[in-house]
Structure 1
Amino acid sequence: MIQKFFDLQGASLRVSAIQPVLVDFYGRIFAGRSRPLPTAPLAYGLTITSGEPLAMPEGTEALYTGPVLDEGEASFWQGPEGRILAFPGIISLTLSDRAREATIIVAPGAEERITMTCGQLALQAALLAARQFLIHAAGLTLPDGRVALIFGRSGAGKTTSTLALAAGGLGLCSDDAMACNVSGERPTAWGMPRNLKVHRRTAEMLPWVQPLLSGDWSAEDERPVTLAALRTTVSVESITAREIAAIFVLERSGAVASRCEPVSKAEVLALAAADNVRSTRIGVPESERELFKRLGDLVRALPTYRLSAGSDPTDLAPVLLAALGIRKIVA
């Protein structure tokens, strides 16, 4: 059995598998930064095996059945040992009710799916065990070392805005996934940097991105850009917990110029919850209620703003910095 440990900034996640490649696939979530031994107390364990994924038994009342964005049909139910999410014939995840453990079973040839919903849910469980939580948001560091969190509805242009802000002098933590901690004196966050998918419209709006793209345009009109390529042009931050300065809700504006203004915490919490908290047919699971509570603690503790992106994204950085009273980038 192969074991590797991943740093959760104050806690460790153990990932075990018979085949090293299975651990390596999960390690992509952490940009491959694993260790042979834990560097912090163990918070959670994940075992990944190759084989026939679990299937929901006949007569079982499902907590959820239906599509999962970009991954197809899934079933979610309560089993005798814990909650189970399964994509039939592809992959299943069991979250134990009795221990801080999870198990993924992936069908041969479907290893890429380890990094998607099942792997993300296992990571969320590990972070909750470590008194942290994962959110769907971008994170960028400010000149003073703090981090700005950016929530945005699907289609709001989060990747475009994240790249524009990074080009404007902010540091890129992540364009999609941030781990937060509200248990200390001040909320902190750290990002999970990974390769980005850039839409053709983004490449047209930000010409400096075009030479960094690799591969061909996908059916979704996207091409990848690697972290290594981005590092030649912008600052890609290390995986380090940083104090959070503020939360921004991103939206598209019909105006040419971008603008930033205070927004109510209730609006921010509603958006964050809609994008991060899952419900089932019988209500909201306990773990999701805990996530909602922590989201509420996060929003209450921080200034909140609406960041309206204009048609020229190059002005986003100075507009965001001005809202925080930071007038220029410090070298």
Structure 2
Amino acid sequence: MRALLNGLERDTAGPSPQPWRLERGRPDLTGMEGRVLHEGQMESGPRFSLFQTADALVLLCGRELRIEADRMGGTGRAIVAPGSETLLTGQAGVFMVSAALDSMGQQLVHAAALARPGGAGAILLAAPSGAGKTTTSLALAQQGFGLMSDDGAVLCPGAGRVAVWGLPRRPKVHRATAALLPALAAGLLGDWDVAGEQPLDPARISGLRIAPPGLVLPLEALVWLGARRAGTTRCVPMGRDVFLAGFAVDNLNRGVAGVPEHQLRRFEAISRAVGHAPTYELQIGDQLADAGEALMRGVDQA
């Protein structure tokens, strides 16, 4: 986590921000004055509160974790209680990375990112959790696409363009994915957890193309992973408005006080990307093996 936060800046102008600070200790519960944006339950862990003060965006998980993101200076800190460090590997860690990126004018979105075979562009593959992004992106990486990320992509708006890079992380694959793609067995790292998942090391899998870490590419196309279909896989044009609606719903949260300003900035980045690149729907057929050919045929014909 420390190495990731210290190296987040990609393709941006101006001086690099100071690294975020990670500290062990009991989080301070003072300085709670601010507007509550959201309250809820972590996937695994304590309840949390997200609130906004005059100077920072703060995520508080009881006496176990406090993350403060400076709203102006691009810096922040996380204070985690001894024994609760695993909280940083889940939703809280994603919040910290997202806040750091937001302060640099970049936005983390829930999507897979793939480098086009033989080209200089990136394709974003979007869909809600559980729809098959990891399975499809790994299959495409076996078919000549460069895997930049299976689940977390970063939008970097620039003058007249939108660029993309993939958040470095090891994919977690489900048993069903491993059954569909037998070559993944060489990269499995442990035992199946209660959700039927385990981490995967793509570098250990022969024939799987992995993009260099930190690779930044111009956005070439936005692809929504649609419902499965009988027969061959196809990639068809999709209305920008339909794509924007689905992508926004999957990436934005509405708090108790409405849509927070940092979520509005994410929506602006998403809208810019949808206005910049063509949009498609990929409908996987009976076999994953024809996904790459169908994707490139659909993008090239349009």
Q: Same fold (TM over 0.5)?
A: yes
Q: Between the two structures, name the one with larger relative contact order (CA 8 Å, sep ≥ 6).
A: 2
Pairing 1:270–2:271 present: no
CA distance in 2 between counterparts of 1:178 and 1:120 reads 12
Could you tell me which runs of 5 or more consecutive residues in structure 2 were left unpaired when the two chains were aligned: none
The answer to whether the Cα contact below 8 Å between 2:226 and 2:282 also exists between their aligned partners in 1 is yes
The 1:311–1:183 alpha-carbon spacing in structure 2 relative to 1, beyond 3 Å, is same
Which of 78, 98, 104 in structure 1 is aligned with 2:78? 104
The 1:223–1:119 alpha-carbon spacing in structure 2 relative to 1, beyond 3 Å, is closer
Q: Match of 1:164, as an amino acid?
A: A
The answer to whether the Cα contact below 8 Å between 2:65 and 2:81 also exists between their aligned partners in 1 is yes
The DSSP-based 3-state class of the residue aligned with 2:223 is: strand
CA distance in 1 between counterparts of 2:72 and 2:228 reads 48
The 1:256–1:57 alpha-carbon spacing in structure 2 relative to 1, beyond 3 Å, is farther
Higher mean C-alpha displacement, 69-78 vs 291-300: 69-78
Give the structure 2 partner of residue 161 of structure 1: 136
Which of 84, 91, 105 in structure 2 is aligned with 1:117? 91
The 1:132–1:97 alpha-carbon spacing in structure 2 relative to 1, beyond 3 Å, is closer
CA distance in 1 between counterparts of 2:30 and 2:125 reads 37
The DSSP-based 3-state class of the residue aligned with 2:22 is: strand
Q: Match of 1:85, as an amino acid?
A: L
Q: Match of 1:119, as an amino acid?
A: G
Structure holding more strand per residue: 1
Shift of 1:207: 1.2
RMSD value, Cα: 2.5
Taking the TM superposition and a 5 Å limit, the aligned residue runs for 1:227-242 are 227-230=202-205, 232-238=206-212, 239-242=214-217
The 1:54–1:81 alpha-carbon spacing in structure 2 relative to 1, beyond 3 Å, is farther
Pairing 1:68–2:42 present: yes
Pairing 1:259–2:260 present: no
- TM-superposition CA deviations, 1:143-181 (whole Å, max 9, x none): 212111010112211111011101111110000111112
The 1:108–1:11 alpha-carbon spacing in structure 2 relative to 1, beyond 3 Å, is farther
Which of 285, 296, 302 in structure 1 is aligned with 2:271? 296
Give the structure 2 partner of residue 188 of structure 1: 163
Shift of 1:72: 4.7
- TM-superposition CA deviations, 1:53-81 (whole Å, max 9, x none): 24488998632221234455211223464
Give the structure 2 partner of residue 126 of structure 1: 100
Report how many aligned residue pairs link the two structures: 297
The DSSP-based 3-state class of the residue aligned with 2:99 is: helix
Pairing 1:213–2:188 present: yes
Shift of 1:306: 0.6
Taking the TM superposition and a 5 Å limit, the aligned residue runs for 1:25-174 are 41-43=15-17, 45-55=19-29, 62-79=36-53, 81-97=55-71, 99-143=73-117, 144-174=119-149
Q: Percent identity?
A: 30
TM-score by length of 2: 0.89
Shift of 1:91: 1.5
The DSSP-based 3-state class of the residue aligned with 1:252 is: coil
The 1:118–1:56 alpha-carbon spacing in structure 2 relative to 1, beyond 3 Å, is farther
Shift of 1:132: 1.8
Shift of 1:96: 2.7
Higher mean C-alpha displacement, 265-274 vs 89-98: 89-98
Shift of 1:44: 5.4
Shift of 1:125: 2.8
TM superposition outliers: structure 1 runs of 4+ over 6 Å: 56-61
Shift of 1:93: 0.9
TM-score by length of 1: 0.82
- TM-superposition CA deviations, 1:256-297 (whole Å, max 9, x none): 422111111111111221122222101111121111111101
